[in-house]
Structure 1
Amino acid sequence: MPPCERRSRAPLAASGTALVLSLTACTGASTVDDGVEGASAAGSGSLSAGYVGSIDQLGLPIAAETGTFEDHGLDVTLAAPFPTGVDAINALEAGDVDVIQVGVPGLAALDSGVDLVIVGHYSGSAAQRNVDDTMSLVAVEDADIDPEDLTTLEGRTIATSLGTINHLYLLALLEEEGVDPEDVDLVNTAPPDMPVALETGGADAAVAWDPWPLTVTDQVEGAWEVVRGGGYLPYVGYVMTTPEYLAGNGETVRAFLTARAESDQWIRHHPEDAADSATRWLTGTDPDIARAAMEHNLAQLDGRFSACNYLALDTVSRLLSEQGVTGADIDVDSVVDPSFVLAVQEDHPELFDDLPEVPDSARITPDHTFDRAADEEACAV
């Protein structure tokens, strides 16, 4: 694996969070293992891609590992996994990668004026409003939290990562269950630090995306899962690039998204094999935790575009604005280009035939214009 190249970047801050873009990017490496077939095969198009080292983003390296990119005539170079979406964004801005997978930090970057365009999804749902199966709230044994009465969260100390999707999930859960966020004590905690926080008494409970809730229950004696998913929030995960790259490489992006859709379907059909792959791409991942996390991830592995996705983006944007993470709601139409994924859906319907049907009312065309009231009605499920 080639050494990391350190680049200095001017910080781009999002108020109220740790979303400050200062990057150390590692590029030119295909995987944590050397010589994985399919990571850099000769083809009719080439690009470099970045992703965050997490279970829900593994469709990208798995497409390299299985030779799927090569099958679609692509020469894809993968950057070494980024620790956060913020790092991935900086790599894209610096020109170290052409395409990235990123979640909530991408929306904060758009709000801060970074010129990006959403061309696809690595996680979410085109068939329903909310999907959050990969999210969980876990607690220590003596926290005295009743899963049948979540108002018992009042007065508890909860570890979460402020300004991230797990923070938004917790807020949505509290609102749905009638708990005032002021009545809980939120402790800003990075997911890898959550097991220690619960084990040492720094928190009664923690909220995060997999694999961290599973890691907590595995490592902290007596810790248990209070809530898994629940449909409180639309989980979002995007494939982003720059307008400049997209303008000159539309066919390559389309082929890339076709390969990604094929990889996602392979994962849905082979979750145990995908979990085994996770232990190779995510160093130190426990095989049992990888298998459990992959099963939870399957419901969100939907790369299609519909009115539901526009609604999800706007919903998460509004939540970020309410929390002071972003300054205003994002103009959804100005940051989304669904045409490439819609073309993949039309040309390769077999890659999505194992997913829930998109409601007829939620189907869109490339010139779709977002209207919250209309899209709420279209995506009523």
Structure 2
Amino acid sequence: MKKTWITGLLLSLSAAVAFAQAPTKVKAGWVAAVDQIALPIALERGYFEKEGLDVEIARPYATGVDALNALQAGETQLVQVGVPMIGAVLRGMDLVAVGNYTGNAAKFGSDGTLAMVAGKDSGITKDLKTLKGKKIAASFGTINHLYTLAVLEKAGLTTQDVTLVNTPPPDMTVALLSKGIDAFACWDPVPIVALKDVPGAVEVSRGGDLIASVGYNVGTRDWVAKNGATVEKFLAAVSAADQWMRANPKAAAQVATRWIPGLKPEVAETAMQFNVQQSDRRLSANSYRALHSAQDRLHKGGFIKSTFDVNKHLEPKYIVNVMQKRPELFKDLPPIPANAAIGANYTFKP
């Protein structure tokens, strides 16, 4: 009888330990872009597992708009998005950004993963004024749209001087090849693919610190508030993946070929060279300024009717905790200047 009781107790304790050690499930979403590849890297290299997380990654979405639609539908709990967050918040979606997936916490400008490519017979050269009167593709409400506006501004042009065509990234290269457009702006790998696949295509602009990259780990306010410990573990895992990627760009490019449909190794390696230059999960005052500046540009251009207080939709405490507890994950990055460093209760003032 006593032996049976002890055996039962041991089994109960064993079950309790197993339950306590069961990993926390998280559904994560991302866009088919090389600058988002740290998410799959964290899965492949076991960083999520080390943090006690069981992360399921959704198929790569075409744009951040699609990723946010999936988040709203309950398909995911955390997604990697940038500019589309602005439109979603203005439409009433209560979102908070908890960390960067791309950008540069140490400075404001960071757009090296974006480029504009023009067709051979378009008449467009590196003299950006030649964009006048041309048909330019961008995905409205995304970071490539924002970059297009910045390129036009640098050229001294406005949207009235060109024809903007709302085009999803997967269709851009075909549109350029068929001469349905004269040029497009997009994130990697799309521009690199076009330069290889469209005879005579030319790179009109690459990066240039024209804008600050707006790319965040985003969740609904309610889910994030209820799962703070999970969010912190998630950010630690992807920060570890970022660091590995920065140290191993060629190997990281190979991971990208397994996750982004149709991505060739040589294209992935080229794109990764740009990506590792702004793979920084940290938040700083520059991250707030980036979001504020993005919506300000869209508002002035008439693409959005109103703006919001960025302080209400950036929640820094989770990544700040990771930065304080796990400084080794960021030791290879440039230090954040004192005037851009933030704490858990930071308030941005434009």
Instruction: Assess same fold via TM > 0.5.
Output: yes
> How many angstroms does 1:293 deviate by?
1.1
The aligned residue for residue 193 of structure 1 is 171
**Hey, what's the Cα distance between the residues in 1 that align with 2:95 and 2:41?**
25
1:77 equivalent to 2:49? Answer no
Q: What is the DSSP-based 3-state SS (H/G/I as helix, E as strand, rest coil) of the residue aligned with 1:240?
A: strand
- Return closer, same or farther for 1:155/1:326 CA change in 2, 3 Å cut-off: closer
Q: What is the DSSP-based 3-state SS (H/G/I as helix, E as strand, rest coil) of the residue aligned with 2:339?
A: helix
1:321 equivalent to 2:299? Answer yes
Root mean square deviation of aligned Cα: 1.6
**Hey, what's the Cα distance between the residues in 1 that align with 2:190 and 2:271?**
9
Alignment of 1:43-62 (within 5 A): 43-62=22-41
The aligned residue for residue 369 of structure 1 is 347
**Hey, what's the Cα distance between the residues in 2 that align with 1:234 and 1:251?**
29
The aligned residue for residue 130 of structure 1 is 109
User: Contact 1:43 / 1:70 at 8 angstroms: preserved in 2?
Assistant: no
> How many angstroms does 1:186 deviate by?
2.1
- Return closer, same or farther for 1:98/1:281 CA change in 2, 3 Å cut-off: same
- Return closer, same or farther for 1:201/1:95 CA change in 2, 3 Å cut-off: closer
- Return closer, same or farther for 1:325/1:181 CA change in 2, 3 Å cut-off: closer
**Hey, what's the Cα distance between the residues in 2 that align with 1:103 and 1:164?**
7
Q: What amino acid maps onto 1:351 in structure 2?
A: L
Unmatched segments (≥5 aa) in structure 1: 1-41, 373-381
- Return closer, same or farther for 1:336/1:320 CA change in 2, 3 Å cut-off: same
The aligned residue for residue 23 of structure 1 is none
Alignment of 1:118-197 (within 5 A): 118-147=97-126, 149-197=127-175
Q: What amino acid maps onto 1:282 in structure 2?
A: I
Residues 85-94 or 335-344, more deviating: 85-94
Greater helix proportion: 2
- Return closer, same or farther for 1:216/1:239 CA change in 2, 3 Å cut-off: same
- Return closer, same or farther for 1:201/1:44 CA change in 2, 3 Å cut-off: closer
Greater Rg over alpha carbons, structure = 2
Q: What is the DSSP-based 3-state SS (H/G/I as helix, E as strand, rest coil) of the residue aligned with 1:64?
A: helix
**Hey, what's the Cα distance between the residues in 2 that align with 1:166 and 1:258?**
28
User: Contact 2:100 / 2:215 at 8 angstroms: preserved in 1?
Assistant: yes
Output one character per residue of 1:162-203: Cα deviation in whole Å (capped at 9) or x when no partner: 332112111112212322332222222222222222222222
Q: What is the DSSP-based 3-state SS (H/G/I as helix, E as strand, rest coil) of the residue aligned with 2:121?
A: helix
Aligned residues: 330
- Return closer, same or farther for 1:244/1:349 CA change in 2, 3 Å cut-off: same
**Hey, what's the Cα distance between the residues in 2 that align with 1:122 and 1:261?**
9
User: Contact 1:46 / 1:252 at 8 angstroms: preserved in 2?
Assistant: no
1:115 equivalent to 2:115? Answer no
> How many angstroms does 1:292 deviate by?
0.9
Alignment of 1:328-343 (within 5 A): 328-343=306-321
**Hey, what's the Cα distance between the residues in 1 that align with 2:194 and 2:255?**
22
- Return closer, same or farther for 1:87/1:186 CA change in 2, 3 Å cut-off: closer
Q: What is the TM-score of this pair, normalised by structure 2?
A: 0.90
Q: What is the TM-score of this pair, normalised by structure 1?
A: 0.83
Match of 2:266 among 279, 282, 288: 288
**Hey, what's the Cα distance between the residues in 1 that align with 2:184 and 2:75?**
35
**Hey, what's the Cα distance between the residues in 2 that align with 1:253 and 1:348?**
15
- Return closer, same or farther for 1:247/1:204 CA change in 2, 3 Å cut-off: closer
The aligned residue for residue 12 of structure 2 is none
User: Contact 1:116 / 1:242 at 8 angstroms: preserved in 2?
Assistant: yes
Output one character per residue of 1:261-314: Cα deviation in whole Å (capped at 9) or x when no partner: 000111111111111111111121111111111111112211101110000010
Q: What is the DSSP-based 3-state SS (H/G/I as helix, E as strand, rest coil) of the residue aligned with 1:80?
A: coil
Q: What is the DSSP-based 3-state SS (H/G/I as helix, E as strand, rest coil) of the residue aligned with 1:137?
A: strand
The aligned residue for residue 92 of structure 1 is 71
The aligned residue for residue 16 of structure 1 is none
Q: What is the DSSP-based 3-state SS (H/G/I as helix, E as strand, rest coil) of the residue aligned with 1:360?
A: coil
**Hey, what's the Cα distance between the residues in 2 that align with 1:202 and 1:95?**
36
Match of 2:283 among 289, 305, 322: 305
Q: What amino acid maps onto 1:125 in structure 2?
A: N
Q: Identity across aligned pairs (percent)? A: 47
1:102 equivalent to 2:93? Answer no
Alignment of 1:238-317 (within 5 A): 238-317=216-295
Output one character per residue of 1:100-132: Cα deviation in whole Å (capped at 9) or x when no partner: 111211221111111111111111111111110
